[in-house]
Amino acid sequence: MKKSLFIAGLDFSMTSDNLKELFAQHGTVESAKVVTDRDTGRSRGFGFVDMSSQAEAQACVDSLNNATHMNRSLAVKFKEDKPAGSGGFGGNRGGNSRGGFGGGNRW
Protein backbone atom coordinates (compact mmCIF):
# COMPACT_ATOMS: atom_id res chain seq x y z
CA MET A 1 0.00 0.00 0.00
CA LYS A 2 2.12 2.87 -1.32
CA LYS A 3 1.09 6.31 -0.25
CA SER A 4 4.42 8.13 -0.30
CA LEU A 5 5.08 10.40 -3.24
CA PHE A 6 8.21 11.85 -4.84
CA ILE A 7 7.80 15.31 -6.37
CA ALA A 8 10.33 16.87 -8.77
CA GLY A 9 10.32 20.19 -10.59
CA LEU A 10 9.53 22.31 -7.55
CA ASP A 11 10.25 26.02 -7.66
CA PHE A 12 13.29 26.80 -5.53
CA SER A 13 11.23 29.19 -3.37
CA MET A 14 8.81 26.39 -2.41
CA THR A 15 8.73 25.51 1.30
CA SER A 16 7.53 22.35 3.01
CA ASP A 17 4.43 24.25 4.17
CA ASN A 18 3.69 25.36 0.58
CA LEU A 19 4.09 21.77 -0.60
CA LYS A 20 1.69 20.56 2.09
CA GLU A 21 -0.89 23.17 1.09
CA LEU A 22 -0.68 22.17 -2.58
CA PHE A 23 -1.20 18.47 -1.89
CA ALA A 24 -3.86 19.05 0.82
CA GLN A 25 -6.19 20.12 -1.99
CA HIS A 26 -6.32 16.43 -2.96
CA GLY A 27 -6.51 14.72 0.44
CA THR A 28 -5.05 14.50 3.93
CA VAL A 29 -1.30 15.11 4.01
CA GLU A 30 0.53 13.22 6.77
CA SER A 31 3.86 14.92 6.02
CA ALA A 32 5.50 17.08 3.38
CA LYS A 33 9.20 17.80 3.03
CA VAL A 34 11.09 19.92 0.51
CA VAL A 35 14.66 18.62 0.35
CA THR A 36 17.23 21.34 0.97
CA ASP A 37 20.97 21.63 0.50
CA ARG A 38 22.63 20.98 3.85
CA ASP A 39 25.22 23.73 3.36
CA THR A 40 23.07 26.54 1.97
CA GLY A 41 19.59 25.56 3.17
CA ARG A 42 18.30 26.26 -0.35
CA SER A 43 15.70 23.99 -1.92
CA ARG A 44 17.05 21.32 -4.24
CA GLY A 45 13.85 21.40 -6.32
CA PHE A 46 12.31 18.13 -5.13
CA GLY A 47 10.50 16.73 -2.13
CA PHE A 48 8.37 14.01 -0.63
CA VAL A 49 4.74 13.88 0.50
CA ASP A 50 3.00 11.18 2.52
CA MET A 51 -0.75 11.01 2.02
CA SER A 52 -3.13 9.32 4.45
CA SER A 53 -4.34 6.73 1.93
CA GLN A 54 -3.42 5.03 -1.31
CA ALA A 55 -6.50 6.53 -3.01
CA GLU A 56 -5.52 10.08 -2.03
CA ALA A 57 -1.95 9.51 -3.20
CA GLN A 58 -3.25 8.24 -6.55
CA ALA A 59 -5.51 11.31 -6.82
CA CYS A 60 -2.43 13.51 -6.36
CA VAL A 61 -0.52 11.67 -9.07
CA ASP A 62 -3.50 11.90 -11.42
CA SER A 63 -4.06 15.61 -10.76
CA LEU A 64 -0.57 17.01 -10.27
CA ASN A 65 1.79 14.95 -12.44
CA ASN A 66 2.80 17.15 -15.41
CA ALA A 67 0.80 20.05 -13.94
CA THR A 68 2.31 23.53 -13.99
CA HIS A 69 2.86 25.15 -10.59
CA MET A 70 4.76 28.42 -10.13
CA ASN A 71 5.70 28.28 -13.84
CA ARG A 72 7.35 24.86 -13.43
CA SER A 73 6.21 21.45 -14.64
CA LEU A 74 5.81 19.03 -11.74
CA ALA A 75 6.68 15.35 -11.84
CA VAL A 76 4.69 13.42 -9.24
CA LYS A 77 5.14 9.69 -8.81
CA PHE A 78 5.04 7.04 -6.13
CA LYS A 79 8.22 6.92 -4.08
CA GLU A 80 10.26 3.82 -4.80
CA ASP A 81 11.63 1.91 -1.85
CA LYS A 82 15.41 1.71 -1.57
CA PRO A 83 16.77 -1.79 -2.05
CA ALA A 84 17.77 -3.45 1.22
CA GLY A 85 21.35 -2.74 2.18
CA SER A 86 21.82 0.20 -0.18
CA GLY A 87 24.28 2.50 1.48
CA GLY A 88 25.11 4.57 -1.56
CA PHE A 89 28.61 3.19 -2.10
CA GLY A 90 27.81 -0.18 -3.62
CA GLY A 91 28.81 -3.60 -2.40
CA ASN A 92 32.31 -4.89 -1.64
CA ARG A 93 33.76 -2.20 0.61
CA GLY A 94 36.70 -4.38 1.64
CA GLY A 95 38.87 -3.35 -1.29
CA ASN A 96 39.18 -6.73 -3.03
CA SER A 97 38.15 -10.34 -2.66
CA ARG A 98 41.16 -11.09 -0.44
CA GLY A 99 39.69 -8.70 2.11
CA GLY A 100 40.82 -5.45 3.62
CA PHE A 101 43.37 -2.98 2.42
CA GLY A 102 47.05 -3.70 2.08
CA GLY A 103 48.78 -7.05 2.33
CA GLY A 104 50.78 -9.01 -0.22
CA ASN A 105 52.35 -7.28 -3.16
CA ARG A 106 53.98 -3.86 -3.30
CA TRP A 107 53.69 -1.71 -6.40
Q: Is position 104 within any domain?
A: no
Q: Is position 65 within any domain?
A: yes
Pick from 13, 10, 103, 101: nearest CA to 64: 10
Q: Is position 85 within any domain?
A: no
Strands (E), the chain: 4-8, 29-36, 43-51, 68-69, 72-73, 75-78
Q: Is position 10 within any domain?
A: yes
Digit-coded pLDDT (tens) for 15-46: 999 999 999 999 999 999 999 999 999 999 99
Pick from 74, 53, 79: nearest CA to 63: 74
Domain that holds residue 47: 4-78
pTM of the complete model: 0.74
Digit-coded pLDDT (tens) for 63-90: 999 999 999 999 999 998 777 665 555 5
Count of structural domains, the chain: 1
Q: Is position 88 within any domain?
A: no
Return the CATH number at 43: 3.30.70.330
